[in-house]
Amino acid sequence: MIAVSQLDAEGHLQHLLTLEGLPAATLTDLLDHADHYLDAGRQGDKKHSSLLGRTVINLFFEASTRTRTTFELAAKRLSADVLNLQVAASSTSKGETLFDTLKTLEAMQADMFVIRHDASGAAHFFAAHAAPGVAILNAGDGRHAHPTQGLLDLLTVRQRMGRIAGLKVCLVGDILHSRVARSAIHGLRTLGAAEIRVAAPPTLIPAGIDALGVQVFHDVDAALSDVDVVMLLRLQKERMLGAFLPSLGEFHRDYGLTHQRAARLPEHAIVMHPGPINRGVEIEGDMAYGARSVILEQVNNGIAVRMAVMDRILGARS
The nearest distance, CB 192 to ligand CP, in angstroms, is: 24
Residues in contact with ligand CP by the rule CB under 6 A: 64-67, 140, 149, 274-276
Around Cβ 92, how many Cβ atoms within 10 Å? 16
123, 175, 279: which is closest to 184 by C-alpha?
175
How far apart CA 156 and CA 165 sit, in angstroms, is 14
What's the full length of the chain, in residues?
A: 318
Residue whose CB is less far from ligand CP, 50 or 156 = 156
Residue whose CB is less far from ligand CP, 14 or 57 = 57
270, 276, 275, 274: which is closest to 290 by C-alpha?
270
Residue 82 C-alpha from the chain's centroid: 21
Residue whose CB is less far from ligand CP, 145 or 308 = 145
Residue whose CB is less far from ligand CP, 116 or 124 = 116
The nearest distance, CB 64 to ligand CP, in angstroms, is: 3
The nearest distance, CB 238 to ligand CP, in angstroms, is: 11
The nearest distance, CB 276 to ligand CP, in angstroms, is: 6
Specify whether the CB–CB gap between 231 and 275 falls below 8 A: no
The single-letter DSSP state of residue 196 is E
How far apart CA 154 and CA 12 sit, in angstroms, is 20
Nearest 5°: phi and psi at 314? -90, -40
275, 302, 276: which is closest to 74 by C-alpha?
302
Residue whose CB is less far from ligand CP, 15 or 179 = 179
The nearest distance, CB 52 to ligand CP, in angstroms, is: 26
